[in-house]
Amino acid sequence: MTSDAVLYHRDAHVGVITLNRPDNRNSMTAELLDAFAAATAQARADRSARCIVITGTGRCFSAGADFKSQIQRNDPTRQAHERSYAMYEPFLSVLDIEVPVIGALQGHTVGGGFGLALVCDIRLGNREAKYGANFTKLGLAPGMAISYLLPRLVGASRAAELLYAGRLVLGEEAASLGILSRAVDGDEVLAEAMALANEIAANAPVAIRLTKRAMNEGLNWQPKQAAFREAFAQALSLTTDDAKEGMAALLEKRTPDFHGR
């Protein structure tokens, strides 16, 4: 078993990864990120798992970075863009899972948590929860390959609107945009995801793995490379006065006053 910050168990042929820090909105603390990397490694090694479900406990699937704690990995031996990329690397390990991955997004899914949702193959969500990437409202450029993934899901114009405005959308709109496959009541999200996972797991496992690989190759799917490129922009944005103001405003629960510097 991994640290209790992230749990892994298997139910028949379905592996379940659960973000388990509801008191901190399942945000990206070092503890949760390290435990998540261990959980995905466990899922990859579990040869009996034919489908993986990722979910969370509490009101948030994941609120992304913990701005009271860290927004980059603390490693003085790395350059700024490497520290930004390292922040997302554990969540990006989902891309190394060969079997289908379903995001059971039972609660609010924001920032880096939204990026985690986007690297899942399929997403089911809570119609009352909020979804999106509000980086620009904080004076930051996006991370976690969101600027790469979102346009491929919803189209360039809609992605531009969401990312430039930093707008969050409720589950029903997220489903209509194509971010979610469907939105259901919050207490039904995990059950719906498990039902779909079991339906997938009942099919021929080799054929499923090959189908996933073929789809990703056909899409020229390269989110890790995109996330690394994004890290340069995010690291640069972190040095601005606007970023300091955006994060201060968030913590102080006020509207930021940006000056473009």
CA distance 206 to 200: 12
CATH number of the domain to which 50 belongs: 3.90.226.10
Domain total of the chain = 1
pLDDT at residue number 48: 97
Q: Please state the rounded mean pLDDT for residues 147-175.
A: 97
The 10 Å Cβ neighbour count of residue 124 is 28
Give the pLDDT of residue 66: 85
> Residue 76: is its pLDDT beyond 60?
yes
Amino acid 3: pLDDT: 65
State the residue range of the domain holding 33: 6-186
Q: In this structure, is residue 230 part of a structural domain?
A: no
Whether 60 maps to a domain, the answer reads: yes
In a domain, 256, yes or no: no
User: Is 187 exposed, middle or buried, given 0-12, 13-18 or 19+ CB atoms closer than 10 A?
Assistant: exposed
Query: What rounded mean pLDDT belongs to the chain?
Result: 95
User: Would residue 76 count as lying in a domain?
Assistant: yes
Dihedral over alpha carbons 52, 57, 62, 63 (to 10 degrees): 180
Is residue 74, in this structure, part of any structural domain at all? yes
pLDDT digits (tens, 9 = 90+) for 1-52: 456 999 999 999 999 999 999 999 999 999 999 999 999 999 999 999 999 9
How sure is the predictor about 68, in pLDDT bands with cuts at 50, 70 and 90?
confident
Kindly tell me if the per-residue pLDDT of 69 is higher than 80.
Answer: no
* Per-residue pLDDT, 182: 97
The verdict on residue 37 lying in a domain is yes
Residue 78 lies in a domain: yes
- Domain assignment present for residue 125? The answer is yes
What is the mean predicted confidence (pLDDT) over 154-172?
A: 98
- Element housing 246 (H / E): helix 241-252
